[in-house]
Amino acid sequence: MTEPTPDHATLPQSFDDFKLNKQLLTAVAEAGFERPTPVQQQAIPLLLAGHDLLGVAQTGTGKTAAFGLPLLMKVKYAQGTHPRALVLAPTRELILQIESHLKKLATYTDLRIVAVYGGVGVKTHSEAVLKGVDILLATPGRLMELYSRGDLVLKELKTLVLDEADKMMDMGFMPQIRRLLEIIPRKRQNMLFSATMPPKVEELSGEFLEFPVKIEVTPSAAPASTVAQTLYQVPNFLTKIHLLEHLVKDTEAFNRVIIFARSKETADNIHHFLQRKIEGEARVIHGNKGQNTRLNSMDAFREGNVRFLVATDVAARGIDVPAVSHVINFDVPIIYDDYVHRIGRTGRAELTGAAITFATPAEMPHVERIEQLMRQPIPQQDMPAEVKVTETPFEEAQRMARELDALRRKEDPDFKGAFHEKQEWLKTGVTIDKRTGKTYDGPERSKKGSKVNPSKGRASSPTAKAARAAAAKNRNARRK
């Protein structure tokens, strides 16, 4: 059972109102925080008072400081060897982002903050942990790996934070989290933050939060109000490329752009196009890129040396870059919560931003589900007249038809499918050329639908093959 959210009329209006220690207030001022964000106003007093917390808030709303400042106040100073606070997050990019923020806030303390995550040799992290740690930041997989090796002792743990809990559920980390809850002390303070609140996250919160106070800065799955959204209906992939080329010609407006794609192949294709055709440096990050490559690309983008960052959803929640002008959804995400996380890369820290989505006919049903999830429509714009609209290739049209049929079958198991009804080439004597979509006047099919061998012009049954073999044998015998 969750307790009510605090009364907004009594919320603190400055960081001085939180009664933080001098070291933290100095670090907050140096970080450029002038006044607390809504999530900080609500969360910090509750966490300082020792409550368990269930927070529904988008990325870019100041969540890290919302749990980080109370965490630093509670841990206070370096002590012992084993971690007293643990922050779990789903990706190494997000862990590194949290590490950067917390270390800035802890500048004037002697606290040891250590981050551990996949993609780096476990020995490196083992040595770092064994030197002593006060606050441990970890991805679930690497955490349990260190624990299984005996390098990590969790008996001193007093605080547990789960950040981006919905993404952790999507990535299948529930078994590791349940195992963790079995081995850490029962008496502790718990915090769970999530951008959305699907049933899986509700279930998880019920398992480890005790009488939590729930705060909801924005409705679950609602995009930040600082992001202006636009939707273009686009017939095919090549027209998406033409539209992208048209939009980003405005170098002043589109000065720092993140482009999201569903697949690594599409991300690479977009990246190659940008490098060849568009002004400005472009980088691409996805699961096939090494960690150093991804981190270097992120740093270059953050520093303003890169204009375009092309990414798959694996990187969507680890990108924390100020003043991103635009997010472009080149593909519509099929995990609908990812839409909110993608567009949350812009309009951060109360700055304004824009999110533009390209959708083919096969992707429009996904757009409708996203609009239902957000409880608001995405404003549509007509295709600019200058954009070249190309004819959809036959194979791409077939693939989109299959995707639409698959979606409809999920809703109605008895649905046969429009694509199924159009398969005229299954009829005897009719063949469709897959390259053109037109009727192919080649050798007729047999009654069973199999082509007659055009080169041999004769039957190919086992009996016929045996007869031909016997005849050939007789001819050879006569020659001898």
How do residues 275-298 score in pLDDT, each as one tens digit?
A: 999 999 999 998 788 777 888 888
- Contacts of 170-174 with CB under 8 Å at 24 or more apart are 170/335, 170/337, 171/90, 173/90, 173/140, 173/141, 174/200, 174/204
Question: Is domain 8-216 in CATH 3.40.50.300, yes or no?
Answer: yes
Domain 8-216 matches domain 227-391 at the CATH topology level: yes
Helix (H, G, I), strand (E, B) or coil at 234: coil
- Residue 250 pLDDT more than 80? yes
Digit-coded pLDDT (tens) for 114-130: 999 998 899 999 999 99
pLDDT at 335: 82
**Residue ranges of the domains in the chain?**
8-216, 227-391, 396-422, 423-457
Across the chain, mean pLDDT equals 85
pLDDT at 418: 56
pLDDT at 451: 46
Contacts of 473 (CB under 8 A, 6+ apart): none
Mean pLDDT of 81-102: 93
- Residue 364 pLDDT more than 60? yes
Which secondary-structure segment (H or E) carries 328?
strand 326-329
Q: How far apart are the first and last CA of the chain?
A: 97
- Residue 456 pLDDT more than 50? no
pLDDT at 417: 61
pLDDT at 64: 93
Judge contact between 361 and 390, C-beta under 8 A: no
- Residue 435 pLDDT more than 70? no
Judge contact between 39 and 215, C-beta under 8 A: yes
- Residue 433 pLDDT more than 80? no
Residue 368: how many other CB atoms lie within 10 Å: 13
Rank 211-215, 311-315, 402-406 by mean pLDDT and report only the highest.
Answer: 211-215
pLDDT at 344: 83
Backbone angles phi, psi at 306, to 5 degrees: -125, 130
pLDDT at 298: 86
pLDDT at 426: 47
Banded model confidence at residue 455, pLDDT cuts 50, 70, 90? very low
Digit-coded pLDDT (tens) for 154-174: 999 999 999 999 888 888 898
Residue 57: how many other CB atoms lie within 10 Å: 24
pLDDT at 452: 44
Mean pLDDT of 287-312: 87
CATH of 227-391, one of 3.20.20.140, 2.60.120.40, 3.40.50.300, 2.60.260.20: 3.40.50.300
Q: Which tops the pLDDT comparison, 345 or 432?
A: 345
Banded model confidence at residue 309, pLDDT cuts 50, 70, 90? very high
Q: Which residue has the tokens 């624990």?
A: 147
* Tokens standing for residue 459: 């039957």
Banded model confidence at residue 219, pLDDT cuts 50, 70, 90? low
Q: How would you label 87-111 residue by residue, b for 16+ Cβ within 10 Å and e otherwise?
A: bbbbbbbbbbbbbebbbbbbeebeb
Contacts of 163 (CB under 8 A, 6+ apart): 63, 64, 67, 87, 88, 89, 94, 98, 193
Digit-coded pLDDT (tens) for 59-77: 777 899 999 999 999 999 9
Residue 181: how many other CB atoms lie within 10 Å: 14
Rank 167-176, 363-372, 462-471 by mean pLDDT and report only the highest.
Answer: 363-372
**Minimum mean pLDDT among 112-116, 191-195, 230-234, 343-347: which range?**
343-347
* Tokens standing for residue 450: 């199999």
